[in-house]
Amino acid sequence: MSTPSSDTYIYSQEWEQERGRLEGLSAGFDEVTIRHLTAAGVPTGGRCLEVGAGAGSIARWLATAVGPTGRVVATDLDVRFLEADSVIEVRQHDVTTDPLEEGAYDVVHARAVLEHIPDRARIVAKLATALRPGGALVLEDTVFGGPETAAWQAVTVPASVAPAQARTLAAVATAFRAIGADPEFGLQLSTTLRAAGLVDVEADLTYRVVRGGSPESAFSKLTMHQIGPRLIEIGLLSPEDYTEALAIVDDPDAQWLSIGLAGATGRAPGKR
C-alpha cells in the first residue's frame, strides 16, 4: 500500500508498527481483493504486476495463482516487507516517475495507491499501457469521509461512541484532502478506467463490520496511533474524540463500519 514519496502520503513508511497496520488492512480486505482478481482471471503461467505491494499478501496469492511457470513483479517504494522467491520479483519502484514495461502483463493490480497520487488519471493510463491485449487492470481504493459517514452512526457499538468515531473519520478525511489526497477517489475508478481506453469495466463497493480485537481492527487501531496525535496537534481532532474512538478498538463487544473499498476492473482491447 505504500505510495510515491510525495507530500500527498499522510502515513509514515518508517513508523515501527507500519507492517502491523498494513497487515490489518490485509486482514480486512484481502478476501475482497482476491475475489476481484479471481473474477478478472489470473492465468496459470501468467505475468502479473502488483503496484504498492505493502506487506506482500496479495503478491504471494498471485504467485500461487500463476504457479511455478508464472511471474509476479511486486513493486513498492518501501520493500522492507516483501520477499522474493522463484516466482516473485521484488522491485523498488515509484509508479509516478519510474518506467513500466509496455504490453508486458496479464494482470496489473493496485490497492489503496491511487488515492494518494495527485495525477491519478495519468497513472491509470500508464498502468493500462503495461497490459497485454485482453489483460486486466484491477484497481482498488478506499472510500471514506463523505455521506457514507452517516452509516457509521447506525453500525457503531456502543452507540455512545458513534459521534466520536464519525468526527475522527471526518478529521482523517480532511487531512487527506488538505494535502491533495482524495479519500473518495475510489468512487471514480470505473470512469477513470474507461477514460484510459479500457473495456468491459465492472466495479463494486464493499464495507465490512469490524469487531473490536479482531485482526482487521488493527488497521483502525494502528492508523489512529500513527496519525491521531498529528491530527490533534493541527487542530483537526480533539483529544477527547481521539481517546473515545480508540478506547473500543480492543473490545470484542464493540463494532464499527470499516472504510469502504471500491474495486474496478477493466480490460485492454484485444484477446489474450
- In whole angstroms, how far apart are CA 66 and each of 76, 79, 87, 163, 180? 20, 22, 9, 46, 36
- The residue length of the chain stands at 272
Per-residue pLDDT of the chain (272 residues; tens, 9 = 90+): 444 444 555 565 566 688 888 888 888 999 999 999 999 999 999 999 999 999 999 999 999 999 999 999 999 998 999 999 999 999 999 999 999 999 999 999 999 999 999 899 999 999 999 999 999 999 999 999 888 788 888 899 999 999 999 999 999 999 999 988 999 999 999 999 999 999 999 999 999 999 999 999 999 998 898 889 999 999 999 999 999 999 999 999 999 999 999 999 999 999 87
Alpha-carbon span 53 to 49, nearest angstrom? 9
- Angle at which helix 18-40 crosses helix 57-66, to 10 degrees, equals 30
Q: Which cell is 29 given?
A: 480486505
Question: Nearest 5 degrees, angle CA 236-CA 241-CA 244?
Answer: 155
- CB within 8 A of 131, min separation 6: which ones? 103, 105, 106, 108, 137, 267, 268
Report the amino acid identity of residue 265: T
Give the model's pLDDT for residue 97: 95
Cβ atoms 230, 156 nearer than 8 A: no
Residue 122 is predicted with a pLDDT of 96
Annotate 29-42 with b (16+ C-beta within 10 A) or e (fewer).
Answer: bbebbbebbeebbb
CATH number of 17-268: 3.40.50.150
Q: Which residues lie below 8 Å from residue 161, measured CB to CB, with a gap of 6+?
A: 244, 245, 247, 248, 254
Q: Position of cell 491511487?
A: 114
Q: How many CB atoms are located within 10 Å of the residue 198 CB?
A: 24
- Grid cell locating 68: 511455478
Check: CB of residue 218 under 8 Å from CB of residue 21. yes
**What pLDDT was estimated at residue 13?**
59
Q: Spell out the domain ranges in the chain.
A: 17-268
- Dist. CA 111–CA 103, nearest whole Å: 21
The confidence score (pLDDT) of residue 228 equals: 92
Query: Residue 15 has what pLDDT?
Result: 61
Res 1: pLDDT: 44
pLDDT at res. 25: 87
Beta carbons within 10 angstroms of residue 230's beta carbon: 13
Q: Which residue has the cell 501468467?
A: 46
Q: State the pLDDT at residue 19.
A: 80
